[in-house]
Chain A
């Protein structure tokens, strides 16, 4: 009891199927889904973490901490206005649990501070709330929608990362029956598609990887690179499709995470297609803010210089968020470099400007981008460092 792997174990899929039946009935009867969805989410929390009591306790502390923080900051913001120092204080407090979790060493029994499923993703949402309170866009934080947003079971494991106000809107909306049936139908389709991706294709490529990709020669690494890229896509996109599909059945139109990423023409396009909710979160809450702050200092006249610095910081943080291993940081910096170089190339190169609509050039662009991306995943896998 209590260590179910969501979207992986057979027991999960059986429970999901059963849980969807009342959801569909409620949806068809045009009744609100949020209370049932919240109850189901709590059940999955217990099913997935119940065996690990410290995890449950940490989850409770985390939720209380973040919610109280949001309420307090709301008052502070209303009374004092846009004070930079207080903003940074509250923002740092909101990511503190995740930092403690990632950077404090594990004890010998494997106990880690704030070690519970979903902390990495819940932190995004809590931080986003603080940021948008500062912006003035969030003026109210209700207990129920806040908690529901964090424990909403389809996205606990690995996202997609929704936005608090968008989620709240969906959560309180009751769809008319034909719309709900359409949504739920799409949801079922996505779940099935996701299952094929993850359970069939990802598994196949993982097997091939273990069989043929472990060679220590250059050839071996190249094979690993291609197979790992395929495995990673089908595994992650498959999970994301299932998460989105399950969300639909519970009335939440969670945004998609993947859009044919291996068809990207350039690295900027790639980040609009791969782990989209993460990339857009970083764009809206890190990249754009770093850029604006740099512009305000007036130290850099060139937009290209500002963009490059911002890309490095943005992607560096993204790499760090994955973990403290050196290959995660390298992965982040690698993409920071790619984005900066792409920006310079696209803005400065006459060759690019003259040929960018040329079909043959686009094929070349696509091929180069694809391999740059796959090499990035090779770094990310840790394989080059003997880890995987």
Chain B
């Protein structure tokens, strides 16, 4: 499996293994999406901020986030897969997506 080769994810879908230099940086992608959806750059400045408590995101925002995560990183997360508490800060979200991407 070379640097530019195709690899299968756990979902049996073929996802291109991105080259290291311009790698789909999960952290950047998620923070970008979050800033966009929450309409606030604070998520980039303080990645431990509780976006639920601060009223920065609602249920539709979460769905949009899951959709953008899938489009940008190929990682699929189903709507009911994690509780609100498990994904209420940018860092928690990034950690979950990174863990799934490695699996």
Task: List A contacts of B61 (CB < 8 A).
Answer: 303
Beta-carbon nearest neighbor of B79 in chain A: A288
| A136/B11 in contact, CB under 8 A | yes
| B60/A306 in contact, CB under 8 A | yes
Contact pattern, A 75-104, Cβ under 8 Å of B = 1, otherwise 0: 000111110000000000000000000000
A291 at the B interface (CB under 8 A): yes
Task: List B contacts of A284 (CB < 8 A).
Answer: 79-80
Q: In the complex, which of the residues A81, A132, A289, A292 contacts B12, with contact meaning CB atoms closer than 8 Å?
A: A81
* Complex Cα–Cα for A307 and B60 (A): 7
| A289/B11 in contact, CB under 8 A | no
| B13/A288 in contact, CB under 8 A | no
B96 at the A interface (CB under 8 A): no
* Complex Cα–Cα for A137 and B11 (A): 10
Task: List A contacts of B67 (CB < 8 A).
Answer: 292, 295-296
B10 at the A interface (CB under 8 A): yes
* Complex Cα–Cα for A20 and B16 (A): 57
Q: Say whether, besides A80-B12, A81-B11, A82-B13, A136 and B78 are in contact (CB < 8 Å).
A: yes
| A135/B12 in contact, CB under 8 A | no
The secondary-structure label for the interface of chain A is helix
Q: In the complex, which of the residues A81, A135, A303, A306 contacts B13, with contact meaning CB atoms closer than 8 Å?
A: A81
B28-78 contacts to A, CB under 8 A, are 59-61, 63-64, 66-67, 76, 78
| A135/B60 in contact, CB under 8 A | no
* Complex Cα–Cα for A254 and B81 (A): 19
Task: List B contacts of A285 (CB < 8 A).
Answer: 80
The secondary-structure label for the interface of chain B is loop
- Closest Cβ of chain B to A305, distance in Å, is 11
Contact pattern, A 258-290, Cβ under 8 Å of B = 1, otherwise 0: 000000000000000000000000001100110
- Closest Cβ of chain B to A298, distance in Å, is 10
- Closest Cβ of chain B to A25, distance in Å, is 35
* Complex Cα–Cα for A81 and B61 (A): 27
- Closest Cβ of chain B to A368, distance in Å, is 22
| A288/B80 in contact, CB under 8 A | yes
- Closest Cβ of chain A to B38, distance in Å, is 12
| A292/B66 in contact, CB under 8 A | yes
Q: Which of A82, A135, A137, A284 gathers the greatest number of chain B CB atoms within 10 Å?
A: A135
Q: In the complex, which of the residues A80, A136, A295, A307 contacts B76, with contact meaning CB atoms closer than 8 Å?
A: A136
The contact sample of 25 A-B pairs, CB cut-off 8 A, is A78-B12, A79-B12, A81-B11, A81-B12, A82-B11, A82-B12, A82-B13, A132-B78, A135-B78, A135-B81, A136-B11, A136-B76, A284-B80, A285-B80, A288-B59, A288-B79, A288-B80, A289-B79, A291-B60, A291-B63, A292-B63, A292-B66, A295-B64, A303-B64, A306-B60
Chain B residues near A (Cβ < 8 Å): 10-13, 59-61, 63-64, 66-67, 76, 78-81
Q: Which 6 A-B pairs have the closest CB atoms?
A: A288-B79, A284-B80, A135-B78, A81-B12, A303-B60, A291-B63
